Structure 1
Amino acid sequence: MRRISAGWGSRVTSHASRRIVVKCGTRLLAGSSGVNHAFVANMAQQIAQVRVQGAQVALVTSGAVAVGRSIVALPGDALVTRQVLAAIGQAPLMSHYSECFAEQGMTVAQALLSRADLHNRTGYLNARNALSGLFDAGVVPIANENDVVATEELRFGDNDRLSVLIAKLVGADRLYILSRTAGLYTADPESEPSAELIPDAGAISRVELERIAGGASHGGLGGMRSKLQAAIEASADGIDVVIAGGDEPNVIVRLESGERLGTRFASQGPRRSSRARWLSSSVAQRGSIVVDEGARRALVSNGSSLLPAGITRVEGAFERGDLVSLSDSRGNVFARGLVNYASGDLARIRGQPSAAIGAILGASSGDEAVHRNNLVLIDRDAE
């Protein structure tokens, strides 16, 4: 059975040029009384320290909805309620960030993103250029989902996924996902006192990791399962990931000094190109293709193209040239790529040999459903 790569990433990063993304969960940032000012101030102090050592840091923040709820007690959790609460809470949340970071001599910038903004390559590049410009100006970007305009269909789902996207956008070397839990445990530590922290995800099989990852956390949309998925996807793009406790004293400074905290996911290879990082991003995908085991093995182990013969099911509506995910029969997404055929045509030729495409459709756009040059694995240890 294949396991997630053990150990820390093999890529050597210059101490003076590393780029870090830090994601802070809702339970760290906000509660019933509003913003946790002490936590924000502590984050500012730590980030100031690692910036002096040469790091560039971007923050991914949650908490706007929770802060809004502490101000206006709206009942329920419907989409429109979350939109209203986010609109109320975003300003005071950023006010705390601005104040605390200014005390450390830093300027922050708010970056509100939605999936709709990043569906196409142009939007993705615009966001990347804006974030790069902020780094060049010595500013700390603070990203959050734009909940005010997000719909159920176009939500990131949780900020763990957003943190991976930001890490890809800025070409990060490391991603630190901070929450109230000190890392990934063998069981839920809140209900199982005997649960043990897993220091290295490479020591545990993928099946076991997915089994022990818990459900949604109280107060936010993310849970340990989403953090696990985020870590796997980011590490496949050459990013070293740590899931750690945000309440741990000086957690960012200590991680940057090399101390072993939380659960580590080593990068699974060199950092990918900008185009490959965009292809691997779930934010732009329009649909999905389910493949049989033979096709999955050929794609993962041999670097092959996907042929119609290996397709068992087509899900969603998409056009030729759209980005889709590729999954196995168990629903595990292992790759993403640009399709050569629209969903309707692909449904007609699935399971058929490439030689029959012309006869079935009346014309052929090539033997491949997804060419290997337009395909990336999102889990390099999937075989």
Structure 2
Amino acid sequence: MSESQTIVIKIGTSSLTKATGQIAVATIASLVETLTSLRSDGHRVVLVSSGAVGVGCARLNLKERPRKIAVKQAVAAVGQGRLMRIYDDLFSSLQQPIAQVLLTRRELMERTSYVNAFNTFIALLELGVIPIVNENDTVAIDELKFGDNDTLSALVASLIEADWLFILTDVDRLYSADPRLNPDAQPIELVGSAEFKQLQVEAGGNGSQWGTGGMATKLAAARIATSSGVRTVITQGKQPQNILQIIQGEPLGTQFEPQSRADNARKRWINYGLIPMGKLYLDRGAVKAICQQGKSLLPAGIIKIEGDFVASDAVQLCDGEGREIGRGLVNYSSTEITQIKGHHSEKIAQILGYEGADTVVHRNNLIIKD
């Protein structure tokens, strides 16, 4: 494809390191050459790189990944500097400037920070820089962690409205079962947007000894990215040069077709940038009004609430059987909603003793799940 595109590439620890935990220099060099070639072709490129903890373990001669959070964060701090030094040396030899971008979930949860992150990425890409992104493990707290860089890469791809997300892993594509254990495993070359829900694969496990992302996290990341209009590919991390061939149309890896990018950036932020702080259970009338008629959520349609949250927090909207139908930003706290649920909007001021919004979740702050 000749036109300039925005491409996010995520590479996992299993691809960046050998089984011994030592750095796979040849793979990193091939990755650097590939990304620089993409930039030379006029594409905008972002790299989401795992490996800080793995590289830190090798640097400190640790035989296994630490389990204690404080030790893991300390090891990540050691490894991150070493990893960036390797990237900088290799990219500099090809005269390609790079930048380090460390994110935590908190930056994507706060609307102003989310917009600032977007502006920073766009400025870097316009300058011809390749941003290298990782979670800021040194300061991240457990409840606000991305959990793995597969999720981080999908959120970054959604944030910057990328055209492609490549998830580089230790298999050449997705299979119906683990090909290392099941010789009858069938390769999956293309997953259409309508087929995603019916996709049945063996996706258990937590990844390698040094990494945190198993196949389940990659499928979850593909779901986030494709629903944001980003074509997603799972392919072999030890052969990053395949990215060039895939963009040119060769059927390598497993591709996930993107959905149309119909929603706006704010609604993508509500859907993927925020962590829901509670749940609202709705009656059938409210579910129909929201899903079929595009209306706001009124207090009369709420039958039960869960969680402790404040106004402007994100919550999940569920039907009476607990299935999530959407997400939104609430205009009232959980305490206030407990008092007004089941009542008509004109009763809100009388119940609470002060004037407030007529809606619990306004339709402009509400997204519907597929």
TM-score normalized by the length of structure 2: 0.88
1:43 equivalent in alignment to 2:43 = no
Does residue 1:251 correspond to 2:242, yes or no?
A: yes
CA distance in 2, matches of 1:186, 1:330: 31
The corresponding residue for 1:323 is 314
Partner of residue 150 from structure 1, selected from 110, 135, 140: 140
How far 1:143 moved relative to its partner? 0.3
Distance 2:290 2:254 in 1: 29
> Are 2:21 and 2:57, in contact at CA under 8 Å, matched by a contact in 1?
no
For the aligned residue pairs, the C-alpha RMSD in angstroms reads 2.6
Percent identity of equivalent pairs: 40
For 2:357, the equivalent position in structure 1 comes to 366
Does residue 172 of structure 1 match 2:162? yes
Q: How far apart, CA to CA, are the structure 2 residues paired with 1:19 and 1:60? A: 14
Query: 2:25 corresponds to which letter in structure 1?
Result: H
Deviation at 1:19, TM superposition (A): 0.6
Q: One-letter code of the match for 1:48?
A: T
Q: Deviations over 1:284-337 (max 9, x none)?
A: 335132435845555344433233344454343322122334456777655332
Note if contact 1:210-1:225 (Cα within 8 Å) is conserved in structure 2: no
Deviation at 1:59, TM superposition (A): 0.5
Distance between the aligned counterparts of 2:154 and 2:243, measured in 1?
A: 17
In 2, distance between residues paired with 1:331 and 1:191?
36
* Residue aligning to 1:65: 53
Matched, 1:130 2:117: no
1:79 CA displacement: 0.9
Bigger RCO of structures 1 and 2 (CA < 8 A, at least 6 apart): 1
2:90 paired with 1:120: no
Greater Rg by CA? 2
1:238 lines up with 2:229 in the alignment: yes
Q: Which of 78, 89, 93 is matched with 2:79 structurally? A: 89
Partner deviation per Cα, 1:213-269 (whole Å, 9 max, x = no partner)? 323212322222221121112211221111222234622101211222222222211
2:129 corresponds to which of 130, 135, 139: 139
Q: Distance in 1 between matches of 2:311 and 2:69?
A: 32
C-alpha deviations, 1:180-216, integer Å up to 9, x for none? Answer: 1233321222322211122222287555436643232
**Residues 89 and 207 of structure 1, relative CA distance in 2, 3 Å threshold:** same
Contact 2:98 2:131 in 1 (8 A): yes
2:205 matched to 1:215?
Answer: yes
Aligned to 2:175, which of 169, 174, 185?
A: 185
Equivalent pairs, count:
365
| Structure 2: 5+ residue stretches without partners | none
TM-score normalized by structure 1?
A: 0.85
2:298 maps to 1:307: yes
